Amino acid sequence: MFCCLGTVRRLCLDKILLQCILQSRTLSGADAINALRPFYFAVHPDFFGQHPKEREVNENSLKRLNGYLENLQKPGFRSFKPTQLTFYVREREPNSSNVQESFSASGFRAVSFTLHTRDLLSTVLDILNSCSLSTEHVQSLNSQPHKEAKSTVNRPIKWDKTYYSFTGFKDPEEELEQAQRVETTLMSWLDDNEASAVKKLKKSLPLRKELERLKIELSQELQLSDIRWQRSWGIAHRCSQLHSLGRLVQQRPEILQNVKGRTVVFTDRSGMSAAGHIMLGTMDVHHHWTKIFERLPNYYKLQKRLLLLEDRISQLLGGIQVIYIEELQPLLTLEEYYETLNSFYNKLRDSRLPFHPRSLRGLQMILESDRYAPSLHEFGHFMIPTVCDPTALQWFIFAKAQEARENLKRKEEMLITEKELIDTSTERFSLDRLYKEPSVSSAQMIDCCKRLLEESLPYLQGMHLCVSHFYSVLQDGDLCIPWNWKN
């Protein structure tokens, strides 16, 4: 008995010594941040200002990544769950790695990977390798200051299983193997997070009611078509923005006479959007908002010129309709979009393409400034780069015209199916709300809802469910689940 206790005590001391040695080989929190600089630069939301879908995905994934890194630095951290993350990075040539990659309509590369490491160094290397970023600076960072420590521990040490039996400590090797084998399932995640989501949701209910009241009052008073938010700000933040607008209405009611029938969007900058919505920058003060409202008559004149320009482009391209899809395209101001259209129109006019009048009526196209080759979207509209060669554009449209018409027809059917499934799922699970992120396509939403309806999910009653690319509980209690959740 005493021999066993002595052995255990010696093993405990040996483990403490080993941990001290191993800590000298790992990265500190500051080292990890420095090592991840190339990654942060590639995915930082501020670089996706004109791409709201990608920006939102990266913002949410960064929050979850930071939480993972913070947990790794907590003393005595033992609880461990694999974390799946998705980031959009700048487009480049696809690689041959086993990391799951796809490309968004805006041309950014979507990278998905799962973190299941237990130390900062391995985590940093996993992140950089998953995004195909160099790790040389990490290796040099880890080798230079700790050369002596590395020579001390030159072989991996494995503890005998009896050590964990006697001490009650968890075997990290066994935990890691188990975590790698087990993937997060919808049921297990809901079981673990339902209580937290319910608590946050109940806490947010008074603010949700306040938000709805403010939105209805301002919409009626100003005769607005709608009030929206470009990004997923919390309920408290949204209430604050509506209160600010309400104060401006009281102080300067005369400048708000030209907003009837318009949509107000709270976003990162002020102006008028390419879709004709009034944008109010959340970081701007009343003075900036006042200027925007005073300039509305000029914006409306520019909007009429923009519509005429779209018609002229349509006439040059056989009647194809030029559209702007707010959910799929970068957030552009009216001025930026007008310049894009004008540049494209001048190029078409000079090329004199021989399109037969009205031969392409019923088809649609959008203009994109960050692509180099034309493509056809699954919803049937052409995505045309502003720098596209007119001759190449002509042949591409001719070759894909019939496929585009078929896709447009399927789009209408798909949107109807999507709405029916959302309504059915909302009723079946007694959800308060079911919605999706802009980056989730209709096809993905349909697949998700069909699979949900095959399950029994009592956890969802009265909840707000968002279909996304990852698992998360938002600050106001909304449950986020990936569209391709596992059972």
pLDDT, tens only, 351-388? 887 777 788 899 999 998 767 788 998 889 999 988 88
CB atoms inside a 10 Å sphere around CB 463:
22
pLDDT at 175: 58
Residue 481 bridge partners (DSSP): 467
CA–CA–CA angle 323, 329, 330 (5° rounding): 130
Does this model's pTM top 0.85?
no
Contact status, residue 248 vs residue 292, Cβ threshold 8 Å:
no
Q: What is the C-alpha to C-alpha distance for residues 27 and 121, in angstroms, rounded to an integer?
A: 6
Q: Could you tell me the strand order of the sheet in which 271-272 lies?
A: 226-229, 263-267, 278-281, 271-272
pLDDT at 114: 81
Give the three-state DSSP class for 133. Answer: coil
Closest CA relative to residue 306, chosen from 280, 351, 276: 276
Residue 114 bridge partners (DSSP): 84
Q: Is the dihedral of CA 71, 77, 83, 87 positive or negative?
A: positive
pLDDT at 255: 86
How far apart, in Å, are the Cα atoms of 164 and each of 15, 17, 21? 11, 17, 20
Positions of the chain with pLDDT under 50: 1-25, 92-103, 105, 144-156, 180-181
Contact status, residue 472 vs residue 60, Cβ threshold 8 Å:
yes
Q: What is the pLDDT of residues 208-262, one digit of tens each?
A: 999 999 999 999 999 999 999 987 778 999 999 999 999 999 999 998 888 999 9
